[in-house]
Every structure is written in structure tokens, then in C-alpha cells.
């Protein structure tokens, strides 16, 4: 295996020239690093920027986050997906208030013990915000090191993570662990790309890369075959009452816990069955117009949806709520899985 000692100097020199100007890098506080790292686990850097700025303006420190009502928190998170992470942030902020005087601890093990903070996030906060020499190994870093070391085993296994963790520790300069970890993330995001050919010719650590030397960088990382996603079919109801949209109040469990949903039924119902279903809930829809089908992909599940647009009157079933357009925009957090159908209502 090629020695990775010595790769930090060219990597850091490259990073200091090309590092993107990102709002959380300017701030650099433990809170900013924590929030940005959790958001970056959801989506791309460019997509995170406006969320990050909005979130930090509304909730500038752990005290504000710990005291934030769930509805407001989920609204700030709306569009990022995987709302359990937002709930985890608040839970963690409450612990910080109770046990650490509202500050993130400058200790890797204590960070790891906090709710919603795994080894990667703990490593990122410890190294970037506190300068502690610990790795922060995410999918990008796994990919980069699997190529650097031409690691031929399944990268999804815990053993692979251990190997990469050790390689990062060996290569990490003790005087710049935060920059080193960020440089690896930057390399994975802009040069050693996950899809298509990596840009080996402009890579600052190409001299250390076994996969490049072997002429097969795309052979790494080695992964098992993907399991097909579980398919779930739903019929969604986009129902108007008193010029407001009918929503179902959040349930405490399930995939979209804590969020407002559109009323729905399992399976794809034809119009007659859809009307019958609404009748069983005590609802008469004055019109029921079919909407185009839509799909949404979660990590392990695929939703195939059909929908109906309708007008209803009379009392709502228990657990339903009405939302005006303004409340939809500013108050209720509705998951992006429903976005196509909510847009139909807004555009009707
Ligand atoms: Fe990735 Fe190519 Fe650099 Fe190796 S030389 S780390 S494969 S970009």
C-alpha cells in the first residue's frame, strides 16, 4: 500500500488556495460547525447555504434552539428532509443547556455522547471548531481513501470505516486537523467525484494514489449490489374547505413524524373508491378531479402517488386542520414528498 505520510502538505496547500467561501467557514464557532454539518448530511453545499443563514438568524445559539417550538423548527427545516435530524438538534441543544452551560463540549467523547451526534459530526466539530486531532470520516472521505489506498473490500462494512479512520489519523497533521478534514471533504466534493471520472490530473494528492497508479480509480469504492427500494402506493387528497387546504396533524411516529401531511389512503384508488373512502371519514366531496401521478424517493422507500383535487364542506374529521396559503408558506411544515400536490392547490 502506498504510504500516505506526506500527503497533508500538498493537500493543505491546495485547500488554502481553492477553499470555497462558505458562511459556516467564516463563522467557525462550534454551533455553526454543528448546524452546518448536520445540514450538509441532508443535501448539497449550494442548497444548504440559504437554510443555514435562515436557521442561524432565527436560532443563533443552543439556548434559542432548545427553546424553539417544534412547529417553528420544522418550518425552518422544511425542504431539507429527514426531519428526525431537526428533532435531534433540539434534543441535543436541551442537553447542552442542562449539562454544558449551553456550549458544545471541546471533547470528542462527550460530543459523541450527545443525541444526534455520530462519529463523523463529533469529529468535524472537534477538529474544525476545537482543533482536536480526530478524523471526520463521511462518505466522501471513505471514497477518497478507498481510492488512495486501492481498498478492495466492501466499503459499507464497519471494518472499512476502521481502516479509513486509521489511515486518516496517520496522514493528519497535528497542527491543522480541522483544515485537513475540511480539505478531504473539499477534495471529495470537487475533485475525487462520486459519479463519473474523478479529476485525477488536477488532484493535489495524485502522487499518493494507488488507484490512479493502477489506472482504475472508478473501481473504488467497492460496494455491494443495491437492494431495490420498497414500493408504497398512496392516494392523496388535495381538499379545500373555506378556501383553505385540509391537512392531517402530525403523528408522533412513522416516516414523517412531527409534520403536517395531506390526507391520504393506502393504494391507488379510482375516483369512485376515493369518494367512498372519504364517505367513510364522514366527508362529502362536491367535486373530485384526478391529478397527475407523482413519485417521491426516500432513502429506502419509493412512494408512487395518485391524487384528487376536491372541495368539501362541513366538519373536519378528528386530527385534521385547515391551512391558509399564508399559513402553508410560513407556519405549517409539510414534507417535500407532498410538494407536487400542494403546488396544485396553490395554483388552482
Ligand atoms: Fe481521487 Fe484521482 Fe485524486 Fe486518486 S488521484 S484521490 S482517484 S482524484
Those residues of the chain that have pLDDT short of 70 are 1-2, 252-258
Instruction: Give the integer Cα–Cα distance in Å for 134 and 169.
Output: 7
Concerning whether 275 is annotated as a catalytic residue, the answer is: no
- What's the pTM value of the predicted model, to 2 decimals? 0.78
CA distance to 71, 106, 163, 203, 283, per residue, from 189 (Å): 33, 27, 21, 12, 51
Instruction: Give the integer Cα–Cα distance in Å for 140 and 152.
Output: 17
- The model's pLDDT over 144-186, given as tens digits with 9 standing for 90+, comes to 999 999 999 999 999 999 999 999 999 999 999 999 999 999 9
Distance 219 CA to ligand 1 centre (A): 12
- The phi-psi region of residue 27 (left if phi > 0; otherwise alpha if psi is between -120 and 50; otherwise beta) is alpha
Model pLDDT, residue 346: 87
Instruction: Give the integer Cα–Cα distance in Å for 73 and 65.
Output: 8
Model pLDDT, residue 331: 86
Instruction: Give the integer Cα–Cα distance in Å for 164 and 204.
Output: 19
Distant-in-sequence, close-in-space partners of 41: CB < 8 Å, separation ≥ 6:
85, 120, 121, 138
- The model's pLDDT over 65-101, given as tens digits with 9 standing for 90+, comes to 999 999 899 999 988 877 889 999 999 999 999 999 9
Model pLDDT, residue 164: 96
Distance 27 CA to ligand 1 centre (A): 30
Query: Quick one: cell of 153?
Result: 473490500
Distance 168 CA to ligand 1 centre (A): 15
Closest residue by CA, ligand 1 atom 2: 200
Best of 164, 198, 199, 207 for a ligand 1 pocket test (most atoms within 8 Å of beta carbon):
198
DSSP at 302: E
CA distance to 6, 54, 130, 307, 347, per residue, from 60 (Å): 39, 10, 19, 40, 35
Model pLDDT, residue 257: 64
Model pLDDT, residue 26: 85
Distant-in-sequence, close-in-space partners of 280: CB < 8 Å, separation ≥ 6:
none
Distance 143 CA to ligand 1 centre (A): 9
Could you write out the DSSP letters of every residue in 56-96?
HHH--SHHHHHT--HHHHHHHHTTT--THHHHHHHHHHHHH
Burial of 34 (0-12, 13-18, 19+ CB in 10 A): buried
Q: Is 264 helix (H, G, I), strand (E, B) or coil?
A: strand
Task: Name the residue with cell 364517505.
Answer: 279
Distant-in-sequence, close-in-space partners of 202: CB < 8 Å, separation ≥ 6:
191
Q: Residues lining ligand 1, CB < 6 A? A: 144, 147-148, 191-192, 198-200, 203, 205-206, 209, 211-212, 217
Best of 146, 209, 214, 218 for a ligand 1 pocket test (most atoms within 8 Å of beta carbon):
209
Amino acid at each position: 500500500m502506498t504510504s500516505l505520510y506526506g500527503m497533508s502538505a500538498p493537500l493543505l496547500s491546495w485547500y488554502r488556495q481553492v477553499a470555497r467561501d462558505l458562511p459556516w467557514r467564516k463563522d467557525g464557532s462550534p454551533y455553526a460547525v454543528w448546524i452546518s454539518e448536520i445540514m450538509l448530511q441532508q443535501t448539497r453545499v449550494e442548497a444548504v447555504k440559504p437554510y443555514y443563514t435562515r436557521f442561524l438568524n432565527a436560532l443563533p445559539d443552543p439556548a434559542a434552539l432548545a427553546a424553539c417550538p417544534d412547529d417553528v423548527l420544522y418550518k425552518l427545516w422544511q425542504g431539507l428532509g429527514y426531519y428526525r435530524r431537526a428533532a435531534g438538534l433540539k434534543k441535543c441543544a436541551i442537553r447542552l443547556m442542562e449539562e454544558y452551560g449551553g456550549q458544545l463540549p471541546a471533547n470528542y467523547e462527550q460530543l459523541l455522547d450527545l443525541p444526534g451526534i455520530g462519529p463523523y459530526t463529533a469529529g468535524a466539530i472537534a477538529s474544525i471548531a476545537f482543533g482536536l486531532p480526530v478524523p471526520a470520516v463521511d462518505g466522501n472521505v471513505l471514497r477518497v481513501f478507498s481510492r488512495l489506498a486501492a481498498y478492495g473490500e466492501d466499503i459499507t462494512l464497519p471494518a472499512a470505516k476502521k481502516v479509513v479512520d486509521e489511515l486518516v489519523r496517520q496522514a493528519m497533521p497535528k497542527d491543522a486537523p480541522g483544515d485537513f478534514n475540511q480539505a478531504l471533504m473539499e477534495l471529495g466534493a470537487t475533485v475525487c467525484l462520486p459519479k463519473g471520472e474523478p479529476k485525477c490530473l488536477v488532484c493535489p494528492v495524485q502522487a499518493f494514489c494507488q488507484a490512479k497508479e493502477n489506472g482504475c480509480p472508478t473501481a473504488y469504492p467497492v460496494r455491494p449490489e443495491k437492494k431495490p427500494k420498497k414500493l408504497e402506493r398512496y392516494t392523496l387528497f388535495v381538499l379545500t374547505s373555506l378556501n383553505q387546504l385540509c391537512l392531517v396533524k402530525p403523528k408522533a411516529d412513522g416516516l414523517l413524524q412531527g409534520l403536517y401531511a395531506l390526507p391520504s389512503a393506502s393504494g391507488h384508488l379510482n375516483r369512485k373508491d376515493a369518494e367512498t373512502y372519504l364517505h367513510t371519514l364522514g366527508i362529502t366531496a362536491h367535486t373530485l378531479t384526478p391529478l397527475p401521478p407523482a413519485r417521491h424517493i426516500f432513502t429506502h422507500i419509493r412512494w408512487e402517488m395518485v391524487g384528487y383535487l376536491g372541495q368539501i364542506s362541513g366538519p373536519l374529521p378528528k386530527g385534521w386542520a385547515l391551512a391558509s396559503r399564508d399559513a402553508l408558506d410560513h407556519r405549517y411544515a409539510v414534507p417535500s414528498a407532498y410538494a407536487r400536490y400542494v403546488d396544485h392547490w396553490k395554483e388552482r
